Amino acid sequence: MSFDFSQFGCNVFSDTVMRDKLPKSTYKELKKSIDSGKPLRADVAEIVAEAMKDWAVEKGATHFTHWFQPMTNITAGKLDSFISPTPDGKIILEFSGKELIKGEPDASSFPNGGLRNTFEARGYTMWDCTSPAFIRDHTLYIPTAFCSYTGEALDTKTPLLRSMEVISNEAMRLLHAFGNTTSKRVLVTVGAEQEYFLVDREAYEKRLDLKICGRTLLGAKPPKGQEMEDHYFGRIRIRIADYMHQLDEELWKLGVTAKTKHNEVAPAQHELAPIFDSVNIACDHNQLTMELMRVIAKKNGLACLLHEKPFAHINGSGKHNNWSLCTDDGINLFEPGKNPYENIQFLTFLCAVITAVDEYADLIRLSAAIAGNDYRLGANEAPPAIISVFLGEQLTSILKQIADGEKPHNQMESAFLQMGVETLPKLKKDDSDRNRTSPFAFTGNKFEFRMVGSSASIACANFVLNTIVADVLSRFTDRLEHTKDFDGEIHRIIKDTMEQHGRIIFNGNNYTQEWVEEAARRGLPNLSNTVDAASAYLNPKNIDVLSRHHVLSEVECHSRYEVLLENYSHIIVIEANTLLEMIHKLVIPATIEYIGMISDSFLKLKEAGLHNQSMEKILTSLSELLDGTSSLTETLEQLVAQVPHTNSLEAAGFCRDQIRPKMEEIRLLVDKIEVLTDKKKWPMPSYTDLLHRI
Ligand code: ADP
Ligand code: MG
């Protein structure tokens, strides 16, 4: 049956529902709060809560939850029912304004990077009315921001909300300088393309590594990977199409604008892209998308893998974060304009991004840092860990021409003429979108940050981008507000950008070794792993920009640094322990058993007077591989016991330099054993079983 599109957003307490269910004056007050970010009056909150509860109960909800996004890349919340006992032993359903606005969960069990003392375990969740409440699984979900008793952010949403305001204010200042008197706010628009894998549930359940770590720690190279290039955009198999259809329907009911779906490059890999939205909502919707992908997979006998690198030998998954700025009256600030005046404004915004990305390349790299992404970035399947900006030849040469040109006259019109900007053609998206290897590409009317990990929240990437671009916009506006020669100053801004930050522009193939060398010559940072990238949180210039704009305080930067490193070490240690368990309980017993079987046959033949050389060869290889595996496993065990607990950087460095390489060594041997072993005796599904079974 086809989807009844009148049901789109039917589980969302949307603007239409609010208008319908709230008294006019309450609706107006709430809208004012949503638009201005100012807190809602207690009496108004009371009325909103009552209406929300009635609507939710009508739709079958029994509970509500303050839904928040701790620093775990997933969401959290506890459920409270609406029931409240009455003296006559019955119950009524209640939901107060206070309950809507504020929750007090015990926050001590969430990552906090030393921000909280356990005796001050209280945390607050505060309603974020800019993202609509919705109903899922008989529960009213209220999007909230999560902070400590003393007001420090413990989540990813709080800095994102703060950064949205900062960039709106700074972009508006610049627009005013350009004479814009109509726009009131600037929104950050984001569309996050989500990659994922689907594997058969039964096979998945037999893989401890997939279940515990989300990625395979072992697995011989399958005969067929992605070399035929027959999966990308290929026909979607019926079982997968069914899954995608159910996913679309559930997302649509929640108001998520799921738009595009297709098969990706690797076998069993797929992608879903929504239509872009305000970044806060895009972020919430991406979290919902990831959750529903997992849940619906399970219902369909499938498992959804969101890890950045579930399988060796084939591509991993990422998330393309499409980012742009749009005024409340609908002007996309990265859309090249129709006239010289608009074009010059576009180029100024473009220069702000170029400058920001160059100055804060380490912070942008950090914003995509997560253990799983270290296996992907720089592996010729995803952008390298080096940040650069792709503009396309056309736009680069326009900027260069302007930078190299003569200082223009004062007079507006002639200035633009001299800059050659009036001829700025409408950029064809096809021209600018051809390069798929760049980590940060201008794609016609938006930037596409392609480094974010598939399992990560997009919040960090966006609050970083918003803040650093806002900071540069602010500097540009200061210059323009203090000059008597507006056109000349714009010209100097473009010139300065190209001279001081042109090195960040790279239009070539980012996957090549030549680029790695060229980038080093240009002095661009190459932070190849999470541990190195984490230090950007401690870099004074980064703390300065984040704290000056009140997005993250110095203390919050330190806490995020700790959380990232702790998380990294935990992941590696869990992976190592999982590998050890698989080796001891599955690989070694299976290998011994198989060796025993061949030995028996070998001896029987020998009794019959035959000396079989191929059996002897297999036995020797397996026996050597088994010895090698055992001894490396012992070393790994010792290493895991030696992880230093003194400081998070040392621990993470130890995990990266000692544990991870040892796991790789073990894998090499075990994968060889797998190749030599009878399939019926191998104790877990193979890569082919996982990738080509559906
Ligand atoms: P592709 O990257 O495959 O060429 P599209 O350009 O159509 O695909 O869009 C990719 C994503 O970018 C979609 O999620 C889309 O909604 C989003 N997008 C398009 N325009 C904007 C914009 N102005 N701001 C933010 N995201 C956008
Ligand atoms: Mg894309």
pLDDT of residue 411: 39
pLDDT attached to residue 426: 53
Question: CA 373, CA 502: separation in Å to the nearest integer?
Answer: 27
Q: What is the average pLDDT across 356-375?
A: 97
Task: Locate the domains of the chain by residue range.
Answer: 5-155, 163-552, 567-691
pLDDT tens digit sequence for 434-446:
678 999 999 999 9
Higher pLDDT, 646 or 379: 646
pLDDT of 433 reads 54
In this prediction, residues 648-666 reach a mean pLDDT of 97
Distance 429 CA to ligand 2 centre (A): 12
Say what percent of the chain tops pLDDT 90.
81
Lowest mean pLDDT among 53-62, 346-355, 482-491, 578-587: 482-491
The residues placing their C-beta within 5 Å of ligand 2, an ion, are 320
Exposed (0-12), middle (13-18) or buried (19+): which is 596, by Cβ within 10 Å? exposed
Is the shortest distance between the CB of 261 and ligand 1 below 6 Å?
no
Within 8 A by CB and 6+ apart from 557, the residues are: 537, 538, 542, 543, 546, 547
> Which protein residue has the closest C-alpha to ligand 1 atom 4?
433
Q: What is the pLDDT of residue 413?
A: 41
Q: What is the pLDDT of residues 23-74, one digit of tens each?
A: 999 999 999 988 877 788 899 999 999 999 999 999 999 999 999 999 988 9
Say what the pLDDT of residue 231 is. Answer: 80
pLDDT tens by residue, 134-163: 999 999 999 999 998 888 899 999 999 999
Phi/psi of residue 324, nearest 5 degrees: -150, 175
Residue at token pair 């949403």: 157
Residue 53 CA to residue 93 CA, distance in Å, equals 8
Query: Among residues of the chain, what percentage have pLDDT more than 70?
Result: 95
User: Is any atom of ligand 1 closer than 6 Å to the C-beta of 458?
Assistant: no
Structure confidence by residue, pLDDT tens digits, 204-239: 999 999 999 999 999 999 988 888 878 888 888 899
| Domain 567-691 sits in CATH 1.20.120.1560 | yes
Range from 102-116, 153-167, 191-205, 579-593 carrying the lowest mean pLDDT: 102-116
Phi-psi region of 516 (alpha: psi -120 to 50; beta: other; left: phi over 0): alpha
The reported pLDDT for the residue numbered 35 is 82
Q: What is the mean pLDDT of residues 96-120?
A: 80
Beta bridge partners of 147: 124, 153
pTM: 0.94
Which of 247, 266, 269, 267 shows the shortest CA–CA distance to 258? 247
Question: Which residue bears the tokens 């806002």?
Answer: 470
274 lines ligand 1 (CB under 6 A): yes
Mean pLDDT estimate for the chain: 92
Question: What band does 427 get if pLDDT is binned at 50, 70 and 90?
Answer: low
Residue 194's Cβ-side half-sphere holds a number of Cα atoms within 13 Å equal to 33
- Say which residue, 434 or 595, is predicted with more confidence: 595
In this structure, the residue with its CA closest to atom 6 of ligand 1 is 443
Question: Relative to the CA of 444, which ligand 1 atom is closest?
Answer: 6
pLDDT digits (tens, 9 = 90+) for 472-488: 999 999 999 999 999 89
Q: Is the CB of 445 under 6 A from ligand 1?
A: yes
Place of tokens 């869990």: 574
Is 257 close to ligand 1, i.e. is its CB under 6 Å away? no
Question: How far from the centroid of its chain's Cα atoms is residue 547's Cα?
Answer: 23
- In the CATH scheme, what is the code of domain 5-155? 3.10.20.70
Please tell me the predicted confidence (pLDDT) of residue 405: 77
447-504 pLDDT, tens digit each = 999 999 999 999 999 999 999 999 999 999 999 999 999 989 999 999 999 999 999 9
pLDDT confidence of residue 382: 80
Which ligand number lies closest to the CA of residue 272?
Answer: 1
Lowest model confidence (mean pLDDT) among 171-180, 319-328, 338-347: 338-347
- pLDDT (0 to 100) of residue 414: 41
CA 556/CA 365 separation, integer angstroms:
18
Determine whether the shortest distance from the Cβ of 190 to ligand 1 is under 6 A: yes
Choose the weakest-confidence range: 146-155, 338-347, 362-371. 338-347
Task: Report CA(463)–ligand 2 centroid distance (Å).
Answer: 20
Secondary structure, 3-state, 269-315: EEEEEECCEEHHHHHHHHHHHHHHHHHHHHHCCEEEECCCCCCCCCC
DSSP per-residue string spanning 194-250: EEEEEEEHHHHHT-HHHHHHSS-S--PPPS-SSTT--STT-PPPHHHHHHHHHHHHH
Atom nearest to 257 CA in ligand 1: 16
- Residue 693 Cα to ligand 2 middle (Å): 28
- The token duo for 202 is 């039964």
pLDDT band at 548 (very low <50, low <70, confident <90, very high): very high
pLDDT at residue number 118: 52
How far apart are the CA of 395 and the centre of ligand 1, in A? 19
Pocket test for ligand 1, best of 256, 322, 326 (most atoms within 8 A of CB): 322
163-552 placed in CATH 3.40.50.2300? no
What's residue 340's pLDDT?
67
Q: What are phi and psi of 273, to 5 degrees?
A: -125, 135
**Closest ligand 1 atom, residue 445 Cα:** 23
Tell me which ligand sits closest to the C-alpha of residue 282: 1
Task: Report which bound ligand comes closest to the CA of 189.
Answer: 1
Residue 52 CA to residue 32 CA, distance in Å, equals 18
Q: How many CA atoms within 13 Å lie on the side-chain side of 514?
A: 3
